[in-house]
């Protein structure tokens, strides 16, 4: 079954201890699709400027990703520049030029409206609400957000939270959203705010799945050399939701495997800049790392 993702398409300039990449392809919608396409067809809604070279996303179009919903507006494509600290956990944003993304009003093409799986990437919660209005009968709606919206558009964010089935957040985000810094208390509070399923991203410490079935702890894959963490969260969500879109049921076993698939795809993504690594892998290589993680957690 196909997945709809609504998010950003960007040109990123990134500096990490491993090197530099200037004006390379990025954005939540693309990182998500590049990851999810290994498992299910993806429909993308986003906006680009007149400067955008569609040839650069041809590799997605060739492989399970429908880009009909990516519209071109007057102006330039969204640009982000960032520099990671030596620990790779922290980064400084050098610039954010929203450009065409500033007035982005997602329009969901007719043939996307029957999508059963929806990923609301990190965009204005008002737009996230608009998107949900257009979807007929989603089976699973998943939300991402960030500190900017948590502090700036809390009321709208609360309204979206009520309408989603799952939220994928990092630790700081759930602490900020709940005002509670005990992970398990915060998870309980957040699940009462709407999403019955919560996935907490802890970076190199892995992730936690919290649902009515209790907790599941997934490790991070031991990446020998992290080159560029950009897109880790979105490729994690892509692998996770991609796998779920292929499940007939959405039971606890499916959810846990989905978290691990997300982990694995994200682990590849961070091994190079932009989409360099996600262009090279295949489902077999994903399965290999999944089995490695299974062996590394069994006792």
Q: Which residues bind a copy of itself (CB under 8 A)?
A: 86-87, 181-185, 202, 204-206, 214-219, 222, 224-225, 253, 256-257, 259-260, 294-299
What string of DSSP letters covers 14-41?
EEETTEEEEEEEE-HHHHHHHHHTTTS-
Strand, helix or coil for residue 124: coil
Indicate the residue among 28 and 176 with the shorter CB distance to a copy of itself: 176
Indicate the residue among 114 and 253 with the shorter CB distance to a copy of itself: 253
The distance of closest approach from Cβ of residue 189 to a copy of itself in the complex, given in angstroms and rounded to an integer, is 13
Indicate the residue among 83 and 204 with the shorter CB distance to a copy of itself: 204
Which stretches within the chain are classed as H helix?
28-36, 58-61, 125-134, 147-152, 154-163, 171-178, 183-192, 232-245, 252-269, 283-295
Indicate the residue among 17 and 81 with the shorter CB distance to a copy of itself: 17
Q: Tell me the backbone φ, ψ of residue 21, rounded to 5 degrees.
A: -135, 125
The distance of closest approach from Cβ of residue 45 to a copy of itself in the complex, given in angstroms and rounded to an integer, is 31
The distance of closest approach from Cβ of residue 26 to a copy of itself in the complex, given in angstroms and rounded to an integer, is 24
- Residue 272 CB contacts under 8 Å (≥ 6 apart), including other chains: 227, 228
The distance of closest approach from Cβ of residue 292 to a copy of itself in the complex, given in angstroms and rounded to an integer, is 9
Indicate the residue among 65 and 293 with the shorter CB distance to a copy of itself: 293
With tokens 């399923």, the residue in question is: 197
The distance of closest approach from Cβ of residue 186 to a copy of itself in the complex, given in angstroms and rounded to an integer, is 12
């Amino acid at each position: 079954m196909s997945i709809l993702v609504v998010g950003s398409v960007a040109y990123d300039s990134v500096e990490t201890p491993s090197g530099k990449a200037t004006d390379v392809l990025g954005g939540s919608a693309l990182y998500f699709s590049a990851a999810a396409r290994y498992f299910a067809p993806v429909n993308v809604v986003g906006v680009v400027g007149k400067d955008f070279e569609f040839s650069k996303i041809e590799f997605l179009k060739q492989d399970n990703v429908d880009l009909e919903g990516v519209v071109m507006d007057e102006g330039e494509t969204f640009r982000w520049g960032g520099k990671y600290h030596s620990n790779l956990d922290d980064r400084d944003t050098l610039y954010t030029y929203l450009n065409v993304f500033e007035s982005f009003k997602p329009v969901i093409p007719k043939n996307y409206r029957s999508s059963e799986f929806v990923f609301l990437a990190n965009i204005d919660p008002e737009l996230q609400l608009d998107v949900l209005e257009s979807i007929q009968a989603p089976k699973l709606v998943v939300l991402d957000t960030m500190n900017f919206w948590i502090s700036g558009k809390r009321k709208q964010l609360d309204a979206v939270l009520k309408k989603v089935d799952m939220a994928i957040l990092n630790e700081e985000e759930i602490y900020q959203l709940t005002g509670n810094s005990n992970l398990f208390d915060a998870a309980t509070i957040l699940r009462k705010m709407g999403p019955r399923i919560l996935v907490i991203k802890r970076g190199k410490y892995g992730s936690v799945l919290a649902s009515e079935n209790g907790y599941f702890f997934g490790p991070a894959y031991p990446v020998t050399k992290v080159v560029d963490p950009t897109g880790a969260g979105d490729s994690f969500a892509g692998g996770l939701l991609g796998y779920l879109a292929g499940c007939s049921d959405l039971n606890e076993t499916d959810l846990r495997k989905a978290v691990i698939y997300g982990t694995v795809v994200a682990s590849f993504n961070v091994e190079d800049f932009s989409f360099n690594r996600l262009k090279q892998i295949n489902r077999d290589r994903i399965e290999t790392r999944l089995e490695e993680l299974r062996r590394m957690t069994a006792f």
